[in-house]
Amino acid sequence: MMKLAILGLGIMGERLLRAALAHPGTTIAALWDPAPEATARLAGIDASLSMAPSAEAAIAAADAVYVASPPASHIAHGRAILGAGKSLFLEKPLASDVAAARDFVAWAQGQRAAVNFPMASSPATAQLLRWLPEIGDLRSIAISCAFAHWPRGWQQAAASWLGKRAEGGFTREVVSHFLFLAQRVGGPLKLLEGSAEYPPGDGSETASRARLMAGALPVNFTGAVGGTELDETNETRLVGTQGQIRLRDWSYAEKLGADGAWQPAADALPNSAMRPLTLAGQLDKLAALTRGEATTLATLEEALAVQKAVEGVLSGSHPS
């Protein structure tokens, strides 16, 4: 059994906690979040669980630690976890700035660490990869997303940072997942040009766009707040010489038919139903990482490449 600790019991921490409670290979060793509301929420999830007195105590009790706190705390927690000889499962982004992330990745090289990009275990992503040979030579990837509001309705409790320019915004929170997928399909990311639009004050972006390369593959994305009445909608389209496939709304793998209509995979599920399967896969791989085995979890280096591209878009620069 993998003894798992979770630092941060917001939305992402709670999701992985619920997945871990249902996972036959995982036991919850410790939880820590300094917020009183997190303690109250934990009581409603499992009354037998309680908060550890400190992050250090939670780390000491575990084999593996998932960091789901806000980005500014990621590096300090990550260094403490790896320094204690435990395996690290870090929420993205790696840090609140690229320089700190780059230093951390260099320091952590060779240690047991991975980043929570769920596309690494998504059944829908696996279906896309199985379809790839059917669409011939891959020519381009197009990513688009739109939101009625930002943060999304279910994220309002975290609006104090998710809605701010310093650490939040949909490009970091959402587009990064699809850039990770593009990188897995095409190769290392390189930002060619990008830009973002901001409201007055310190709010996060209202629109962003970019041209990138994933290896030798052109990648374009556009995103905006507004323009849809849905909480969110997104598409990652892979265009080949003999066809097109796409990932829609996180969990629907679809293939473009000869009639011009998109046909979903036979086992397609809405994201709410697919998420537990994906997180179970992530926990399987985290347990393997903790045992010292190779896995397909997102590496720190992959996450750094995504973060560099995202921050380049948001700043209008191209960080090296």
**pLDDT block averages, 10 residues each, the chain of length 320:** 97 96 98 94 93 98 97 96 98 93 97 98 97 98 97 89 93 97 97 96 97 98 94 97 98 97 96 97 98 98 98 77
The CATH code belonging to domain 120-270+303-315 is 3.30.360.10
d(C-alpha 121, C-alpha 117), whole Å:
8
Domain boundaries, the chain: 2-118+280-298, 120-270+303-315
Q: Are 254 and 263 in contact (CB under 8 A)?
A: yes
Bridge partners, residue 195, by sequence: 209
Angle at alpha carbon of residue 157, lines to 155 and 162, rounded to 5°:
60
Q: Which of 209, 207, 201, 208 is nearest to 165 (CA)?
A: 201
d(C-alpha 55, C-alpha 213), whole Å:
39
Q: Taking the model in full, what pTM does it have?
A: 0.95
User: Which pLDDT value is given to residue 202?
Assistant: 95
User: Which pLDDT value is given to residue 227?
Assistant: 81
147, burial (CB in 10 Å: exposed 0-12, middle 13-18, buried 19+): buried
d(C-alpha 45, C-alpha 74), whole Å:
25
User: Which pLDDT value is given to residue 320?
Assistant: 43
Residues across the chain: 320
Element at 210 (helix H, strand E):
strand 207-214
CA distances from 165 to 145, 190, 300 (A): 18, 23, 23
Enter the DSSP assignment of 205. Answer: P
Enter the DSSP assignment of 28. Answer: E
Longest dimension (CA), the chain: 60
Q: Are 21 and 28 in contact (CB under 8 A)?
A: yes
Q: Which CATH number fits domain 2-118+280-298: 3.40.50.720, 3.40.50.150, 3.40.190.10, 3.10.310.70?
A: 3.40.50.720
